[in-house]
Structures are given as structure tokens and as C-alpha cells.
Amino acid sequence: MSAVTHPRFAPRRGSRPTPWWSKAVARAVEEAAYHSNDLRAGRSLARGGRVGALTIDKGSLFAAVHQGDDAWTVSIALPTLSPEASATFVELVAAESGRIAGLLAGELAHQLVEDAEDAGVELLPYGGEFSASCSCDAWAQPCPHGLAVLTQLTWLIGDDPLALLHLRGLSREELLAALHERTLRTPTNGRAGPDDAQDEAAAADVEVGVDAARRAARILAGLEQGEDVSPLL
């Protein structure tokens, strides 16, 4: 299964530093709102911790929103990258040493996004791309419940830009696997040059990422089974 469930956010008070890519997604959420009152209500629900865990799959986002004695189910859809666009993005990540390490560390380089856009790969969404539905059956979608979920999505993406890639159809595991396969296909000529050094550095970044992903999977599996995972931390 490719779906990943992210823990719910605790209530938030006051403002926090926001990375540029999260602000870009927040602007798209503002564009998606039909009315400013809906947006304010959605943000209030999000800041109050009324949104449950966010489940992200390729092209879809699900969450429950609690309001009073009611709980509403929200579904958000976003177009995914084509296989060709995903392959192009993998090449762009591999093109410069440090890019995969940056993504794994929670950083989305502005230059990487610009290079992707120049290559026809749109990572950051715009308001019209969001397709929302809610069990409250409000005529205007996204409703305040949907906007609450989207608001928390901007927080999640701010902490982990790979969540945006997953929503766009390229999961963390697939990205790392594609980068790993690419490094295995890279020919060597037996001479150490600038390109070889860059390839070796990129390969090292991928190996670190693969190890980190495997370790995280073991920790999550241990937590689900109630095991003591402190030696793995």
C-alpha cells in the first residue's frame, strides 16, 4: 500500500516560521476558498486541532474534522505527475549533489522547483487543482472542513516536502528507489573527474536516504506492535 497516515496536529497558538514552499501552497488554498469567511472558519478549525490524522495517497488526501458533536469526512484530490514528469524530476534531483539529502532533511530548494517548472514539471499546486468533497454536503467545496484539512496540509508540507511529492504521485520510497537504480546504471570510466565525484556524492546521499527510510519503517513497525524502539532512535 502506498498510503501514509501522518499523526494529527496539536492545537496551534500564535504564528510560526513558515518555509517558502508552504506559503506557496497556502496561497493555493486561499485561491481555492469560495469565501473569506469559509477560509477563516477552516483556519480556526485547523488551529484548534479539530482535524484528525492526514492520510495521503497518490493524488488523494483524507481526514476527519470534528466540529461540536459532529465529525465530517473530507476527501481532497490533486492531479498527479505523469510517469514522464516523475522521471524528469528524479533526474533533476540527481543532477546536483545534496538535493536528495535536502529533501530528506525537510528542505525544498527553490532552484529545484524552478528547474522542475522549466522542465514542465509542476510541483506546487494552484487553487483550481484542488478537488474537494465533504460529508457535510455543503454546496461550496472546499467547505470550511475541507479548508481546515488543506490548512493542515500546508503545515505538513512545510515540515516534510516529500509529502507534497507523495500527493503528486511520487512517494518517498519510489523516489529513493528510482535514485538508487539510477546510480546503479551510471557508467564508470575508471577515472576520477568532476562528474564522477558528483555521481559518488549523489550515490552517497541516496544510500543515506535508503538507510533512513528502512530505519523509519522498522521504528513504525515496532511502534504498531507495541515494542520498545528506543535502541533504534
**pTM for this prediction:** 0.80
Banded pLDDT at 227 (limits 50, 70, 90)? low
Angle (nearest 5°) at CA 83 between 207 and 118: 85
Q: Which residues pair with 60 in a beta bridge?
A: 57, 77
Specify the pLDDT at position 191. Answer: 45
H helices of 51-143, in order, are 83-95, 99-104, 110-118
Specify the pLDDT at position 197. Answer: 46
Specify the pLDDT at position 15. Answer: 80
Banded pLDDT at 166 (limits 50, 70, 90)? very high
Q: Is the pLDDT of residue 64 over 80?
A: yes
| Domain segments of the chain as ranges | 7-171
Q: Is the pLDDT of residue 30 over 50?
A: yes
d(CA 174, CA 185): 16
d(CA 49, CA 114): 34
pLDDT in tens, 123-158: 999 999 999 999 998 999 999 999 999 999 999 999
Name the DSSP letter for residue 82: P
Q: Is the pLDDT of residue 226 over 80?
A: no
Residue 98's SS3 state is coil
Cell of 170: 511520487
